[in-house]
């Protein structure tokens, strides 16, 4: 999509996702014949330019994307109207999902499994052995494998008990911040790790319990009803409340959100929420606040689909960073939360799209007890450096481009917007 004019977005090109789980190596011809209605998907992607990457063609732009649940592909998107697949990194995963690609270094963190690691037992979550494959992709045409990384108990030959969940999201601050945040267990039994990036990339790489623990600064295991889908560090936050204190007026925080799952449609399981941890002392994360949409504000348990958080924006756009966070809240739409006081996050705006003829029904159960309702289901949200907000509806209603209005704009800092702000 061309969103140069966000009020009039233009369709540019469609790159189909996975079409058939039995088609492990789709050809360019098959992709060219596919239509937007083909079943399949590409759950996550990131784009880096050749000017940013250390060893790439400076005239090019590259897209690294997950292909369905089976692998990752590299695409040339220099001309967005004519994307071209450059290579297939690998097509042997059972459950790829999100990824992170550092444009300034080329280091890529790919999530999937089990590969040559242990396969989950039948009574465990399907993604219980998802872990990270870390590559140097500073030259997108010549990826160099660095190592695997996951939780002790996932790898072959381990003596540790297998963890109940696997990796779902990675967030890296790159060499400047020297931290990588790993989120395991998106909808329950959440485990998050704060990892020293230098030790992760340059320390001992053989997959064993000791080496998997070596770069870890802190690990937090959450209750079985609390997941970690998304993580966003909020570094160097200035806190006016503590300005007169000798210490503590500038602190670091980590926002985590759990993901409402299909099993939780119409509030049949625990609600996933947003939680903020103080990580100023990284080895001792301290939970300080929790935020959710009040159910009674919209009778959300009766609306259909999922009620609870799914994700926050990933981009640390200066216009919003450390000030406003946007939360994809499934059937409660997009929520704008003022986080300038992280001890007391406060909602300042929301948007719930209207149901249209494209909105798909949300169902659970099997016949004759199958139950369906048609509801909005916003599951992802992102921002750009101009200050525009992008939200997508899992139920197929569409992509929405939004902006803050009214008094909510006072929480942002539009003087830091890059380009024409809303």
Three-state secondary structure call for residue 260: coil
What pLDDT score does 285 carry? 98
- Rounded mean pLDDT, 240-268: 91
Lookup: tokens for 278: 């103080």
Q: Which of 156, 162, 97 is nearest to 132 (CA)?
A: 97
Residue 369 pLDDT level (bands cut at 50, 70, 90): confident
- Distance of alpha carbon 125 from alpha carbon 187, whole angstroms: 11
What pLDDT score does 6 carry? 96
In tens, the pLDDT along 115-150 reads 888 776 767 776 788 999 999 999 999 999 999 999
In tens, the pLDDT along 102-114 reads 999 999 999 988 7
- Distance of alpha carbon 36 from alpha carbon 399, whole angstroms: 14
Residue 26 pLDDT level (bands cut at 50, 70, 90): very low
Burial of 402 (0-12, 13-18, 19+ CB in 10 A): buried
Residue 23 pLDDT level (bands cut at 50, 70, 90): very low
Q: Which of 67, 17, 15, 61 is nearest to 39 (CA)?
A: 17
DSSP 78: S
Q: Is the pLDDT of residue 1 over 90?
A: yes
Residue 289 pLDDT level (bands cut at 50, 70, 90): very high
Residue 29 pLDDT level (bands cut at 50, 70, 90): low
* Long-range contacts, 339-346 (Cβ 8 Å, 24+): 339/234, 339/255, 339/276, 340/411, 341/239, 341/241, 342/234, 342/237, 342/239, 342/253, 342/276, 342/278, 342/288, 342/289, 343/241, 343/276, 343/288, 343/289, 344/289, 345/274, 345/276, 345/289, 345/291
Q: Is the pLDDT of residue 27 over 90?
A: no
More confident residue, 30 or 359: 359
Q: HSE of 68 in the Cβ direction (CA atoms, 13 Å)? A: 22
Round the average pLDDT of the chain to a whole number and report it. 91
Q: How far is CA 163 from CA 1, 124, 207, 403, in A?
A: 40, 9, 15, 41
Contact (CB, 8 A) for 98 and 111: yes
Domain boundaries, the chain: 1-228
Q: How far is CA 118 from CA 66, 91, 164, in A?
A: 22, 18, 13
Go through the chain and tell me how many residues it has.
422
- Rounded mean pLDDT, 84-112: 90
- Distance of alpha carbon 303 from alpha carbon 267, whole angstroms: 10
What pLDDT score does 140 carry? 97
- Distance of alpha carbon 229 from alpha carbon 313, whole angstroms: 12
What pLDDT score does 3 carry? 96
Question: 25: which strand partners?
Answer: none
In tens, the pLDDT along 168-205 reads 999 999 999 999 999 999 999 999 999 999 999 999 99
In tens, the pLDDT along 326-351 reads 999 999 999 999 999 999 999 999 99
Question: 337: which strand partners?
Answer: 325, 347
What pLDDT score does 69 carry? 79
- Distance of alpha carbon 271 from alpha carbon 268, whole angstroms: 9
Contact (CB, 8 A) for 375 and 362: yes
What pLDDT score does 122 carry? 66
What pLDDT score does 19 carry? 60
Burial of 296 (0-12, 13-18, 19+ CB in 10 A): exposed
The separation between CA 202 and the C-alpha centre of its own chain, rounded to angstroms, equals: 25
Dihedral sign from CA coordinates of 93, 99, 100, 106: positive
Question: 110: which strand partners?
Answer: 99, 133
DSSP 200: H
Q: Is the pLDDT of residue 263 over 90?
A: no
């Amino acid at each position: 999509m061309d969103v140069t004019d966000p009020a009039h977005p233009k369709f540019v090109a469609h790159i189909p996702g996975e079409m058939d789980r039995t088609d492990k190596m789709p050809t360019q011809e098959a992709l060219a014949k596919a239509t937007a209605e083909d079943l399949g998907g590409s759950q996550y992607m990131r784009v880096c330019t050749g000017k940013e990457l250390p060893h790439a063609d400076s005239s090019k732009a590259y897209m690294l994307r997950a292909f369905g649940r089976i692998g990752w592909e590299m695409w040339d998107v220099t001309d967005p109207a004519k994307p071209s697949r450059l290579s297939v990194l690998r097509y042997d995963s059972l459950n790829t999902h999100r990824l992170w690609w550092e444009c300034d270094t080329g280091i890529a963190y790919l999530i999937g499994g089990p590969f040559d690691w242990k396969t989950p037992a039948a009574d465990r979550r399907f993604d219980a052995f998802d872990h990270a494959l870390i590559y140097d992709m500073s030259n997108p045409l010549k990826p160099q494998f660095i190592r695997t990384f996951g939780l002790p108990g996932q790898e072959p030959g381990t003596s540790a008990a297998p963890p109940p969940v696997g990796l779902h999201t990675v967030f890296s601050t790159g060499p400047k911040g020297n931290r990588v945040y790993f989120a395991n267990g998106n909808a329950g039994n959440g485990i998050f790790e704060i990892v020293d990036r230098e030790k992760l990339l340059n320390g001992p790489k053989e997959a064993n319990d000791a080496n998997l623990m070596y770069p870890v600064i802190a690990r937090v295991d959450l209750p079985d009803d609390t997941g970690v889908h998304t993580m966003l560090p909020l570094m160097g936050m200035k806190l006016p409340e503590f300005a007169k204190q000798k210490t503590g007026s500038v602190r670091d925080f980590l926002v985590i959100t759990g993901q409402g799952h299909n099993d939780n449609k119409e509030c049949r399981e625990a609600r996933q929420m947003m939680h903020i941890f103080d990580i100023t002392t990284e080895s001792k994360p301290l939970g300080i606040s929790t935020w959710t949409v009040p159910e009674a504000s919209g009778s959300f348990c009766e609306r259909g689909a999922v009620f609870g958080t799914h994700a926050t924006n990933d981009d640390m756009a200066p216009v919003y960073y450390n000030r406003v966070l946007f939360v994809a809240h499934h059937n409660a739409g997009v929520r704008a939360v003022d986080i300038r006081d992280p001890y007391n996050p406060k909602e300042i705006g929301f948007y719930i799209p209207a149901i249209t003829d494209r909105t798909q029904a949300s169902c659970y159960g099997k016949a004759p007890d199958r139950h369906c309702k048609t509801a909005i289901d916003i599951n992802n949200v992102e921002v750009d450096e101009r200050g525009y907000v992008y939200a997508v509806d899992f139920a197929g209603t569409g992509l929405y481009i939004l902006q803050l209005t009214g008094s909510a704009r006072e929480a942002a800092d539009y003087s830091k917007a890059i380009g024409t702000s809303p």
